[in-house]
Structure 1
Amino acid sequence: MRVGRIGAALALAVAVAGCGTGGSGSSITGKDTLTIGVAKDQPGLGLRKPDGTFAGFDIDVARYIAAHLENKPKKIEFKVVTPSGRESAIQTGKVDLVVSSYSITPERKTKVAFAGPYYVAHQDTLVRTNETGIRNVRDLAGRRLCAVNGSVSWQRVTVERNVAAQLVKVPTYGDCLAKLTDNSLDAISTDDLILAGFAAQKGKAVRFVNAPISDERYGVGIGQSDVTGCEDVNKTITEMYLDGTAGKLLKKWFGSTDLNLTTTVPQFEGCG
């Protein structure tokens, strides 16, 4: 772990925390119950188990954040949000935070604010193991590519790189995996942590292409006016890396894969 980078990130978090007034509107700070939006069908990140409880890297990060806020909530509630419903869930107050492989993008920042990122993933591609014709994103031309409503991953392929893939639109990434394994589509291209969870679940049935095309900065979605709450979350994320928890959680959920994991503090967005 590179001490200089971590120290700089901590200094940034502390400096940012000293400014801002919290904006107008309610803040997560001091809430007795904190409602956190999560995924329900992403193995390794956010998965709802048969008994109704949730498990995964995002779930553990959400629990850590809640436990280390300056004014700790007495209760945490997880609420399922779909990729297409994350912004509205925050804007309408359905949830206080979203921790759900939520990549920070300029368009999303016009609707919600982001603390973090708490991890920087990379977009890669998952195919069936017996698929030999897909070696990089260009090979997706003419192939059936999963397109999750509300996700930007498929756009990085078809819009940013102008690859003429055949889009198969579905509500969630869990639907992508089901369609990949039953031969209803040819590839899933999205964040490597999502794909790593799928690969761990399906074993030898699927494989990584191992040709990343972008950085995906996972942020904690929060209301635009809640500067104070955003700064508080940033401090907890820094603590999570400094005390070694982030590295332990990454190893816990993805250590069995061949993914290269980063355990240094990411460069923060800044609040306000």
Structure 2
Amino acid sequence: MKLRKVTAASAAVLALALSATACGGDSKDEGSGSGSGGGGKIKIGIKYDQPGLGLKEPDGSFSGFDVDVATYVAKQLGYKPDQIEFVETKSADRENALARGDVKIIAATYSINDERKKKVDFAGPYLLAHQDLLVKKDSKISQATDLNGEKLCSVTGSTSAQNVHDDFAPKAQLKQYGGYSECIAGLQSGAVDAVTTDDSILAGFAAQDKYKGQFKLAGLKLSNENYGIGVKKGDTATLNKVNAALEKMVSDGSWQKAVDKNFGPAGYKNEPAPKVGVIVK
């Protein structure tokens, strides 16, 4: 009898433990969960160092177009703002972050291309950007060929400046800095004559209060960059929900409001909202 009583008691304890574990599942982060909201959280990968797109502010808050898009999408997935955890996701680690389940989705100037699509599913696109030039407001540089003999800045490891040099301005003097903030500061001081990367990134930097009114975009379309939201390969349910959220964001006007808020001060002439599933080559 004693053995039976102990066994029964153990079974009861085990049952209670299993029940508690099941109930407690709702409070865990949902980096790779179902995306159903409830009591959980959603982890979203963004950039922390791109003003106008993805920026961690000094007070710990986040701002930028990618942040606004991600917040809107998360809401449509059933998450409140306090259930969103933004995770810094550097360009080189985006595919791995999704594969590991570190984040549920990524909105971080993530251009859709065939190589990346082998490892990641993409919702969107939600923005069509182009490689462009940022110059001083009174600059006479209006096209890529004007860069011959001029100092052109981009970040170390980027191919943007090299592409301009090879295709348009073989006499351009290439300057490589550690980050775009340094390039923009160089443009302000006169150390460089132009900065090149995606127009959305350039517009975000130029829209900062300390730079307002000093720069302009040349308005060139040297490449097409279709920004998509990265989703773990094979997660069709989340992919479909994110696409539906992006379509709603455009239709209810929230997309254009986010563009105007984050890029407007730089005079960014954005392309119309792209259609989900349509990639501009």
TM-score, normalising length: structure 1: 0.75
- Report the equivalent of 1:41: 49
Kept in 2: contact 1:84–1:150 (CA 8 A) = no
- Report the equivalent of 2:267: 258
Aligned counterpart in structure 2 of residue 206 of structure 1, from 198, 203, 215: 215
Bigger drift between 75-84 and 143-152 goes to: 143-152
Distance in 1 of aligned mates of 2:93 and 2:102: 10
Bigger drift between 229-238 and 39-48 goes to: 39-48
- Structure with more helix by fraction: 2
Structure exhibiting the larger radius of gyration computed from Cα positions: 2
Query: Counterpart of 2:207 in 1: which secondary structure?
Result: helix
Cα distance change, pair 230–33 in 1 and its aligned pair in 2 (3 A) = same
Distance in 2 of aligned mates of 1:111 and 1:265: 23
TM-superposed deviation, 1:148: 3.8
- What amino acid maps onto 1:261 in structure 2? N
CA displacement, residues 54-96 of structure 1 (integer Å, 9 cap, x when unaligned): 0111111100000102x54772101122233323322333322
TM-superposed deviation, 1:99: 0.7
CA displacement, residues 113-170 of structure 1 (integer Å, 9 cap, x when unaligned): 21101121222110234543x32223345654444467564465356x3754555445
Task: Name the Cα RMSD after superposition.
Answer: 2.9
Query: Counterpart of 1:214 in 2: which secondary structure?
Result: coil
- What amino acid maps onto 1:78 in structure 2? F
TM-superposed deviation, 1:176: 3.2
Query: Counterpart of 2:87 in 1: which secondary structure?
Result: strand
TM-superposed deviation, 1:111: 2.8
Kept in 1: contact 2:54–2:63 (CA 8 A) = yes
Aligned counterpart in structure 1 of residue 35 of structure 2, from 18, 29, 36: 29
Distance in 2 of aligned mates of 1:33 and 1:52: 18
Bigger relative contact order, structure 1 or 2, given CA contacts below 8 A and separation 6+? 1
- What amino acid maps onto 1:106 in structure 2? D
Aligned counterpart in structure 2 of residue 224 of structure 1, from 224, 227, 233: 233
Distance in 2 of aligned mates of 1:192 and 1:81: 21
CA displacement, residues 193-212 of structure 1 (integer Å, 9 cap, x when unaligned): 22222222212332222222
Query: Counterpart of 1:44 in 2: which secondary structure?
Result: coil
Aligned counterpart in structure 2 of residue 189 of structure 1, from 178, 193, 196: 196
Distance in 2 of aligned mates of 1:28 and 1:168: 46
Kept in 2: contact 1:125–1:212 (CA 8 A) = no
- What amino acid maps onto 2:116 in structure 1? R
TM-superposed deviation, 1:236: 0.6
Pair 1:117 & 2:136 matched:
no
- Report the equivalent of 2:4: none
1:38-117 alignment runs, 5 A limit: 38-69=46-77, 72=79, 75-117=83-125
- Report the equivalent of 2:181: 174
How many residue pairs get aligned? The number is 242
Cα distance change, pair 154–94 in 1 and its aligned pair in 2 (3 A) = farther
Q: Which runs of 5+ in 1 are unaligned?
A: 1-25
Distance in 2 of aligned mates of 1:156 and 1:36: 32
Distance in 1 of aligned mates of 2:86 and 2:237: 22
Query: Counterpart of 1:36 in 2: which secondary structure?
Result: strand
